[in-house]
Structure 1
Amino acid sequence: MICRLTGILLEKNPPQVVLDVHGVGYELDVPMSTFYSLPANGEKLSLLTHFLVREDGHFLYGFASEAERFAFRQLLKISGVGARMALSVLSGLSVSDLALVVARQEVGRLTRVPGIGIKTAERLLLELKGKLADALPTTSVSADDAHNDILNALLALGYNEREAAAAMKQLPADVTISDGIRQALKLLSRV
């Protein structure tokens, strides 16, 4: 319904801002990543928005980038995650950090965000897997990181360290994570 607002920044009170758009003051909740990038009061500002209607009110959320808004919307789709928790996640982690945490399945980093426990973090990692990678520019993963991820995947699948290490030795140095796991599983199925 409301996609973007452009106006004059009137107030900044974390996590809320008031934006004057042609004489109408819009109150928006923003993640801290957006809050830290705001100009001074009285300056022009443009924010992407997400409008949420609930039985207890109408709420407007603002974002500095499309990636933030996309991540917020993906978080809202998860059962048990409301707007307050989604803002908390985006305030504690940048979108690129969140995508990296999801790709590496790092529960510990998510539990450092206030209000996120282990079970919620595990659910977030499961539900967000593969959804944030499309919103981010492609980043190169170092060979060591890829090999560590492949090794961890094999161990999680129940192979012991000796078996996993033997399969890892046979993989090319520049293998991607998904191809490496696939190739390692083929090697291990022949044993």
Structure 2
Amino acid sequence: MIAQLTGLVGQVEADRCVVDVHGVGYLVHASTRTLAALPHPPEVARVLVETVVREDAFLLYGFAEPAERDWFRLLTTVQGVGAKLALGILSALSPADLAAVIAAADKAGLTRVSGVGARLAERILSELRGKAGRIAVPPGAVLPAAAGGGVEADALLALAGLGFRRAEAQPVVARIVARLDDKADLDVVIRESLRDLAK
């Protein structure tokens, strides 16, 4: 299996590039984030690679950093997330952003990615919540507030005022808000969150 390529950057397209290693051009599919990080052709680049062998193809997926490759591997373990969609998610969300979205159970953050509907977003969140901890969140990454504020953001502010850390409270509040289908009053969310956090 090919794990890394170091060679001259050749043709760069919207979702792939060619890396020339001693005269052999390897077609590497990559996120827009990785493609943007590559030096201008024909400079030398080092690309981390995930090799995927199928019955009808031998495909290479390239990454500028290990965290992006790790997230690609995790995303493609979710039913309904193929390599192409995984790259689309990684084009829209950096590894730090994706870690924050998973930690916050931010379904809206995932559904903003083209090709990810509400049902698939829920599956990604539920399947990766326990696995995402294996990938370190880069220093300085901040968990996002709930999209557009609302009950979840207000509940987090209230709990912070009561001395609960955001990283501790956010998953609990997000779970409760999701269970109540965003229809709960603020006091109900706070009361149930306190009950869960007290356990």
TM-score, normalised by the number of residues in structure 1: 0.79
Q: Do the aligned residues in 2 keep the contact of 1:155 with 1:161 (CA within 8 Å)?
A: no
Equivalent residue pairs, number: 174
CA RMSD in angstroms, aligned pairs only: 2.6
Aligned pair in 2 of structure 1 residues 43, 156: CA closer, same or farther (>3 Å)?
closer
Deviation, structure 1 residue 105: 0.9
Q: How far apart in 2 are the matches of 1:156 and 1:42?
A: 50
Q: How far apart in 1 are the matches of 2:124 and 2:192?
A: 31
Cα deviation per residue 1:36-65 (whole Å; 9 max; x = unaligned)? 111110101000001111122111000001
The DSSP-based 3-state class of the residue aligned with 1:59 is strand
Q: Any stretches of 5+ residues in structure 2 without a counterpart? A: 144-159
Deviation, structure 1 residue 128: 1.1
Deviation, structure 1 residue 164: 4.9
Q: Do the aligned residues in 1 keep the contact of 2:4 with 2:47 (CA within 8 Å)?
A: yes
Deviation, structure 1 residue 151: 3.7
Q: Work out the percentage of aligned pairs sharing the same amino acid.
A: 40
TM-score, normalised by the number of residues in structure 2: 0.76
The DSSP-based 3-state class of the residue aligned with 2:46 is strand
Deviation, structure 1 residue 146: 4.2
Letter in 2 for 1:14: A
Q: Residues 24-173 of structure 1 correspond to what in structure 2 (within 5 A)?
A: 24-136=24-136, 137=138, 143=160, 145-146=166-167, 149=170, 150-155=172-177, 161-162=186-187, 164-165=189-190
Q: How far apart in 1 are the matches of 2:141 and 2:134?
A: 14
| Larger CA Rg, structure 1 vs 2 | 1
2:9 corresponds to which residue?
9
Letter in 2 for 1:30: A
Deviation, structure 1 residue 155: 5.0
